[in-house]
C-alpha cells in the first residue's frame, strides 16, 4: 500500500510539473486592444492555436478563445491571427516590410507519425489578404519574380536560381531592406 501511495504522489507531482512546463512567458493582445502579460499556455488542435490560458503573477488564470486574441508575443516572436484558409490560425512573423512573410507551423500525420510541417504566407503592404507561398521551385520563382518585379537585381538572382524555396526568408529580407531604401 505504501508503494502505491508513493507512486500516486509521484504521478500527480509529475503531471503538475509537466503541466507547469507548458506555460511560457509572453503577452496576448486581445481584439479589444487590451494587452495582458503573464505566462501563456497554448491549447492546440492539429497545430492550430485555438485556446489560450494566461497565468498572471498571482497565479490567477484567464481563458481566451482564438476569436478573442489578435496577437501573441512569445520568445521575441510575434504571432498574428489570420484566416488564410477560412480557419483561424496564428502565423509567426518572419520578416516585415513591403511584402511581409509569415510561417504557419502545424503537425502533419504521416502513417501515424506526427511531424512538424511549415507553410509560408505573404502579405503585401496595405493588404490583409494572406497568400500562400509556393514550395515548388518553378512556381516559387515565378511567384517571386512577379511579386518583386521592381527589384530587378533580385529578380535576376531568382531567375538565375541563386535562391531556392528554402531561402524564402532571406529573399524577403533582401527585398524588404531594398524597398525600405527606395
The answer to whether residues 30 and 103 belong to one domain is no
Q: Are residues 105 and 66 part of one domain?
A: no
What would the mean pLDDT of 149-178 be, rounded to a whole number? Answer: 97
pLDDT for residue 145: 97
Grid cell in block for residue 156:
535576376
Q: Are 153 and 114 found together in one domain?
A: yes
pLDDT at 23 over 90: no
Helix (H, G, I), strand (E, B) or coil at 119: strand
Q: Is residue 148 part of a domain?
A: yes
CATH code, domain carrying 50: 2.30.30.100
Report the mean per-residue pLDDT for the chain: 84
Q: Average the pLDDT over 141-158 and give the result.
A: 97
User: Residues 116-141: what's their mean pLDDT?
Assistant: 94
This prediction's pTM: 0.80
137 and 167 belong to one structural domain: yes
In this structure, the dihedral spanned by the alpha carbons of residues 32, 105, 48 and 136, taken in order and rounded to 10 degrees, is: 110
With cut-offs at 50, 70 and 90, classify the pLDDT of residue 152: very high
User: Does some domain include residue 84?
Assistant: no
Amino acid at each position: 500500500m505504501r508503494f502505491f501511495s508513493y507512486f500516486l504522489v509521484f504521478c500527480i507531482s509529475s503531471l503538475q510539473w509537466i503541466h507547469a512546463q507548458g506555460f511560457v512567458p509572453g503577452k496576448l493582445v486581445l481584439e479589444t486592444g487590451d494587452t495582458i502579460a503573464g505566462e501563456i499556455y497554448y491549447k492546440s488542435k492539429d497545430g492550430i492555436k485555438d485556446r489560450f490560458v494566461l497565468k498572471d503573477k498571482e497565479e490567477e488564470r484567464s481563458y481566451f478563445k482564438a476569436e478573442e486574441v489578435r496577437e501573441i508575443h512569445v520568445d521575441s516572436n510575434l504571432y498574428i491571427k489570420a484566416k488564410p484558409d477560412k480557419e483561424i490560425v496564428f502565423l509567426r512573423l518572419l520578416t516585415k516590410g513591403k511584402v511581409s512573410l509569415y510561417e504557419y507551423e502545424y503537425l502533419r500525420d504521416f502513417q501515424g507519425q506526427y511531424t512538424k510541417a511549415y507553410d509560408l504566407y505573404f502579405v503585401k503592404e496595405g493588404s490583409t489578404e494572406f497568400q500562400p507561398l509556393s514550395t515548388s521551385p518553378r512556381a516559387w520563382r515565378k511567384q517571386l519574380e512577379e511579386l518583386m518585379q521592381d527589384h530587378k537585381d533580385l529578380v535576376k538572382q531568382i531567375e538565375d536560381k541563386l535562391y531556392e524555396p528554402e531561402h524564402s526568408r532571406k529573399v524577403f529580407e533582401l527585398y524588404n531592406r531594398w524597398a525600405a531604401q527606395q
